[in-house]
Amino acid sequence: MNKIKIFLAAFFLAAVCWSCSEEKLSDQSVFVDPDPATVTDFDKWLLSNYVYPYNISFKYKMEDIETNMTYDVVPATVRNSIAIAKLIKHLWIEVYDQVSGIDFTRTYIPRVIHLIGSGAYNTNNTVLLGTAEGGMKVTLYRINDLDINNISLDLLTDRYLKTMYHEFAHILHQTKNYPVEFKAISNNDYIGGDWSSIDATAAQAYQLGFISRYARSEPNEDFVELLAIYVTRGQANWDSILAAAGTNGVAIINQKFEIVKNYLRDSWNIDINELRRVFELRGSMIDQLDLVNL
């Protein structure tokens, strides 16, 4: 038995030695560079307009790792992704460039913009328009709803731009928090997820001193809704909300707005009225943008 074991051990050792002596390493690397043919003209445009100047990764090809798996969603079309990339740059990124300088934008803008073609629908009959994650990523939904041949600033604001300003305001206050006095103004009137209930109407929100229904969810949302709506919805819309708010609601909204305005001025050296003016000016130019060709 010992002789058999010794023979088998010798046999396997010889086999291993033979195998090692015969095996040759391949001169081909296992790390393969991307096929240049898969880099599209849009990818090159994104490098020049997002990656190099701002260090932003603009993801339009849906990736599982970037997607909230809670929702059933579909990818954005390339055609609409091109249009959205140009519109976001013109009406959001370059607005902050013009008001605060490109160094500010480069420093605080999220590092990933992620597009989803469809909406993300919740069980409470609401739909996500966008999300921000720790100041690093903004996701925009319903990209495929965009009709490139029928675009207006109001439509873009309702579907995308108000969301971008809302989410970027979150990044700003997460970096430098706003005064604690803001939270105390409507402390007893925040209702969490119930903001979307049938009973929580827009009229009720205005009269309680909120700029929107969603602002009633919690103080941070209240704060960023004020900023985003004031900048993107225009004076006529703002005046109509104040008119519907009544004496008590107007006083509360104005009190909150003063904190938002002063916060932007003192913490970021941003004049909120100048931000609105530049947004509206650039919005008047959207019919001059080529949203199809690169």
Instruction: Answer whether residue 2 shows pLDDT above 70.
Output: no
Q: Which of 99, 96, 263 is nearest to 175 (CA)?
A: 263
Residue 275, H or E segment: helix 272-283
Q: Which of 61, 84, 59 is nearest to 74 (CA)?
A: 61
Q: What is the CA radius of gyration of the chain?
A: 27
Say what the alpha-carbon torsion angle 231, 229, 190, 208 is, to the nearest 10 degrees.
100
Contact 119, 92 (CB under 8 A): no
Instruction: Answer whether residue 107 shows pLDDT above 70.
Output: yes
**From residue 136, how far is each of 85, 183, 268 by CA, in Å?**
18, 25, 19
> What digits encode the pLDDT tens for the residues 5-54?
444 444 444 444 444 444 454 454 443 444 555 889 999 999 999 999 99
Instruction: Answer whether residue 104 shows pLDDT above 50.
Output: yes
pTM value?
A: 0.81
At 69 the pLDDT is 53
Contact 137, 195 (CB under 8 A): no
Pairing of strands 120-121, 130-133: unpaired
In sequence order, what E strands does the chain have? Answer: 57-59, 112-115, 120-121, 127-128, 130-133, 137-140
> What digits encode the pLDDT tens for the residues 40-99?
999 999 999 999 999 999 999 876 555 555 666 788 999 999 999 999 999 999 999 999
Mean pLDDT of 246-275: 98
Q: Please, is 123 exposed, middle or buried when counting C-beta atoms within 10 Å of its C-beta (0-12, 13-18, 19+)?
A: exposed
Angstrom distance (rounded) from CA 163 to CA 166: 5
> What digits encode the pLDDT tens for the residues 156-201?
999 899 989 998 999 899 999 999 999 999 999 999 999 988 888 9
Pairing of strands 112-115, 57-59: parallel
Residue with tokens 């969810």: 217
Backbone angles phi, psi at 127, to 5 degrees: -130, 135
Instruction: Answer whether residue 254 shows pLDDT above 80.
Output: yes
At 7 the pLDDT is 44
Q: What is the mean pLDDT of the chain?
A: 85
Mean pLDDT of 108-134: 76
Domains of the chain: 36-288 (3.40.390.70)
Q: How much of the chain, in percent, has pLDDT values that exceed 90?
A: 67
Angstrom distance (rounded) from CA 195 to CA 205: 9
Mean pLDDT of 266-291: 97
Pairing of strands 120-121, 57-59: unpaired
State the Cα angle at 268 between 171 and 222, rounded to 5°: 50
DSSP symbol at 129: -
At 10 the pLDDT is 46
State the Cα angle at 115 between 38 and 59, rounded to 5°: 40
Question: Which residues, at least 6 apart from 257, have a Cβ–Cβ distance to it below 8 Å?
Answer: 226, 230
Phi-psi region of 139 (alpha: psi -120 to 50; beta: other; left: phi over 0): beta
Q: Which of 93, 170, 86 is nearest to 136 (CA)?
A: 170
At 118 the pLDDT is 83
